[in-house]
Amino acid sequence: MSSPILFITACLIWGSTFFAITLELGEVPPAVSVVYRFGLASVALFAWCKLRGDTLRLPWRTQRWLMVQGFATFGLSYICTYTSEQYLVSGLVAVLFALMVFWNPIGNRMVFGTPLTWRTWSAAAVATAGVSLLFLPSIAGAWQELRAGGSGHFLLGLALALVATMASSAGNVLVVKVRQQASNVLLTMAWAMLWGTLAVAAWVLLSGQAFVMPTRPSYWGGLLYLSLFGSVIAFNAYFTLIDRIGSQKAVYIGVVTPVISVLLSIRLEHFRPAAIEWLGMVLCLSSVAWALKAEAPKPAALTPLKNIATRT
């Protein structure tokens, strides 16, 4: 499949998944929903690989990277995302994920020595201003509520969403390390999702949460969509793009996805942004486009990919 088709596929699916997550909230604890989603997705991926004739085993050196990637991308990031959407409109969470365009270069700098350009820093400053304007009214209201003895849940949701974006960016950097060990995108995704599922399941058990079985048809519809489309298809498209064009270009998806998510929030969640919030979104998304306009710098030194055979 061509890179433009992969790009469009990931944008359309992920643009709608932030709202689809809201269909799973309320009846089942967020962490349990994450277990159901990626448990189902990993089973589907392993079955797909088996039907293709792939060998499902991977070397331990590869599994170590997959464990860390699974914890970051499919564990910590999604626990924080699901929990944050209990307190924030899904479109706002999607806009925050656009900030991955800055976390990714920082991660690549730390791991691979990729230089950070002036464009990245200047765009980051504009994005920070945009996010500040976007959330300023809600933060002010939440702070007043907190001082009056309220819960301040909005601030908690905002903090969790920011942690989710950083965890996802860490997972993106780890994708490159995994691809240096194994060339089968579907199989490494299956293992990463399995490790992430096991990590979240362990957290559920240790924290005393119950594995509630949902009864609402909307929950099951959302679960199937998020597992098969949002996880299997979209992540396959995204990780393939990272392998082809690099993570700093693949995060162009982060420019388009929030626009789709905000439009869905306006239509389906009755989200009505004020003028200052519209200005914040415009600044944030335009800064992302500006940061990604230039050619991504090449890493200082990358280990060549090791083409490990994974088919029998």
Q: What is the pLDDT of residues 80-132, one digit of tens each?
A: 999 998 888 887 787 778 777 677 777 777 766 777 777 777 777 777 777 77
Q: What is the pLDDT of residues 256-292, one digit of tens each?
A: 787 788 888 888 878 787 788 788 778 877 776 776 6
Q: What is the pLDDT of residues 171-209, one digit of tens each?
A: 878 877 787 788 788 899 899 999 999 999 999 999 999
Q: What is the pLDDT of residues 199-256, one digit of tens each?
A: 999 999 999 999 999 899 999 999 999 999 988 898 888 878 877 777 666 766 766 7
Whose CA is closest to 90, among 7, 20, 186, 160?
Answer: 20
- The Cβ of residue 34 has, within 10 Å, a number of other Cβ atoms equal to 31
pLDDT at 43 over 90: yes
The 3-state DSSP composition of the chain as helix, strand, coil percent (nearest 5) reads 75, 0, 25
Cβ–Cβ < 8 Å for 255, 292: yes
pLDDT for the residue 247: 62
Rounded to whole angstroms, the Cα distance separating 219 from 186 reads: 26
pLDDT for the residue 270: 80
pLDDT for the residue 94: 79
More confident site: 30 or 100: 30
The pair of structure tokens assigned to 71 is 């914890």
Mean pLDDT of 14-22: 89
Highest mean pLDDT among 15-19, 129-133, 175-179, 296-300: 15-19
The pair of structure tokens assigned to 33 is 């929903």
> Token match 């589907």: residue?
44
Exposed / middle / buried, residue 112 (Cβ in 10 Å: 0-12, 13-18, 19+):
middle
Helix (H, G, I), strand (E, B) or coil at 28: coil
pLDDT for the residue 226: 93
More confident site: 183 or 37: 37
pLDDT for the residue 248: 61
Cβ–Cβ < 8 Å for 106, 120: no
Angstrom distances, CA of residue 219 to CA of 37, 41, 160, 176, 223: 11, 16, 23, 34, 6
Q: Is the pTM of this model over 0.75?
A: yes
pLDDT for the residue 3: 80
